[in-house]
Amino acid sequence: MIGLGISAFLDTILAELMENKMRKSYLFDVTLTTTIRVNANDLATAAAKVRALFDEHEAHLGMIDGDSVVASLNVEGDLDLVEIEGRRYEPLPHEAYRHASHHSE
């Protein structure tokens, strides 16, 4: 009876290995949005802090079917300023926020 238990266990392990061997890995490019509040003396420094936070980092987002989901993080394009000191930021039509949203050169 013990022999049958081990045999069934090995069959189960072999079946799982075959299933995993048949599964393929798929990579998706996903855009996620979030808001981040930082404290700084000026807008350019605040934007630089946000970019530095994500530069070349990864985040563990949870598990799917027992596999760990890890996302590489980066900031692309302009940062959208939402608030300054708790007040909603509403740019005037002639204002451009580009000066603080890109890496300083």
Query: Would you list the DSSP string of 4-37?
Result: HHHHHHHHHHHHHHHHHHH---------------
**Is position 65 within any domain?**
yes
Is the pLDDT at 39 greater than 90, yes or no? yes
97 within a domain of the structure (yes/no): yes
15 is a domain residue: no
Number of domain units in the chain = 1
Whether 5 maps to a domain, the answer reads: no
pLDDT confidence tier of residue 55, bands split at 50, 70 and 90? confident
93, pLDDT greater than 80: no
pLDDT in tens, 58-90: 888 899 888 888 888 888 888 888 899 888 887
Which residues form the domain of 51?
A: 25-101
Residue 4 included in any domain: no
Q: Is the pLDDT of residue 33 over 90?
A: no
Contact 67, 105 (CB under 8 A): no
**How far is it, in rounded angstroms, from Cα 10 to Cα 16?**
10
Structure confidence at residue 2 (pLDDT): 52
Residue 63 lies in a domain: yes
Alpha carbon distance 52, 46 (integer Å): 10
Residue 77 in any domain: the answer is yes
